[in-house]
Amino acid sequence: MNQISATHIRQIFLILLIGGIFGVLFWNLHFFVPALLGAYTLYVLLRGPLFVLTERWKWHKKAAAALLLLLSFIALLLPFNWLFMMLQRRVVGLFRNADQVRQNAEALIRTLEVKYEISLLTPENMVSLSNWAVGAAQGLVGATLNGLGILLAAFFILWFMLTEGKKMEQMFFEGLPLRHENVTYVRKQLNDMVWGNALGIPLMGLVQAFAGLLIYWLVGVPDIWMWFTITFVAGMLPLLGVALAYVPLSLILLGQGEEGKALLILLYGFIVMGSVDNIARMWLMKKIIQTHPLITLFGVVLGLQLFGFIGFIFGPILISLFILLLHIYHKEFHQRE
């Protein structure tokens, strides 16, 4: 009868002990998981400038880290604060005038139905849709507040990453239970994943938002910066993308009797903004690793629920990390067999 060796028993016991302690730590510190993910994302983006300041220009490591931390904090906090204030004004207005908003939406739908002899929504559906919109807006603001706390925690962790970056990288990659070639693969894939998601996704939204801003300004769309923001957010979504911005805007203008402006925005969005999307994606595929649209779609949904507005970036990174772990398992064990 074969017996389990003492070495294997000690190994299994140690694995169970490590797993149990990790589970306790994760359960009690799960709030810092997205903060750690955000800090690593910023660290990868700031790693190059940090080495330039410390190794080429001979800056003190803490001085260079403080400068980069301050610049990145300003670059993220200013647009984040502007977006939150704009959302807060809109959502508070929705809460205070929920009945009026619903009546205006119903009047707009009825005008379109009568004018063009079509059937769009029943009154029951309109009530359900308006209630869902108010609830979704409230949830988005709450998640965005939570995202602000995560962002502050991410900057706290980022300070230690910037000041002790090389030491932490060495400890992390040497601690991975993988072969040397797979450790190198993990390092490269993590960097490509961060650059592709952290830069590629917002850049796509920004390019299309500026393309839309041109027609919004020429047509004279009211509250132009709100529609710029909506286009920016929609541009980061795959599949429908900016159609989620210019189609509702066209319907609103159509309901207000401005058929020419509505048609112009609809054609411009379909032809010009759609072409900008394709050209920008082709350029990004050459410059930055391109994330699959399904990863972006599911990542955005997951990220919004977990992290708030900044989940547009961190959600796809989290799903990409999961897929990377599956690839590592295949390379480490399946190919070895």
pLDDT in tens, 21-55: 888 887 887 778 778 888 888 898 899 899 899 98
**CA dihedral sign, ordered 143, 149, 154, 157:** negative
What number of other Cβ atoms are within 10 A of residue 156's Cβ?
13
**Which of 12-26, 291-305, 319-333 is the least confident region?**
291-305
In a domain, 72, yes or no: yes
Distance between CA atoms of residues 300 and 295, nearest Å: 8
Q: Is it the case that residue 100 has pLDDT exceeding 70? A: no
**CA dihedral sign, ordered 328, 329, 335, 337:** positive
pLDDT exceeding 90 applies to what percent of the chain?
A: 9
**CA dihedral sign, ordered 82, 87, 88, 90:** positive
DSSP H or E stretch at residue 9: helix 6-28
What number of other Cβ atoms are within 10 A of residue 46's Cβ?
21
Q: What is the pLDDT of residue 65?
A: 92
In a domain, 252, yes or no: no
Read off the pLDDT of residues 296-309 as tens digits, 9 standing for 90 and up: 778 877 877 766 66
Q: Which of 204, 203, 249 is nearest to 226 (CA)?
A: 249
In a domain, 142, yes or no: yes
Read off the pLDDT of residues 248-281 as tens digits, 9 standing for 90 and up: 888 788 777 788 888 899 899 988 887 887 777 6
Question: Would you say 229 and 86 are in contact if contact means Cβ atoms under 8 Å apart?
Answer: yes
In a domain, 154, yes or no: yes
Q: Is the pTM of this model over 0.85?
A: no
Domain range holding 131? Answer: 31-175
In a domain, 323, yes or no: no
Q: Is it the case that residue 67 has pLDDT exceeding 90? A: yes
pLDDT exceeding 70 applies to what percent of the chain?
A: 72
What number of other Cβ atoms are within 10 A of residue 259's Cβ?
12
User: For the chain, how many structural domains are there in total?
Assistant: 1
Distance between CA atoms of residues 105 and 29, nearest Å: 44
Q: How confident is the model at residue 71 (pLDDT cuts 50, 70, 90)?
A: very high
- 3-class secondary-structure state, position 307: helix
Q: What is the pLDDT of residue 108?
A: 67
In a domain, 328, yes or no: no
Q: What is the pLDDT of residue 7?
A: 74
DSSP H or E stretch at residue 55: none
Distance between CA atoms of residues 287 and 310, nearest Å: 23
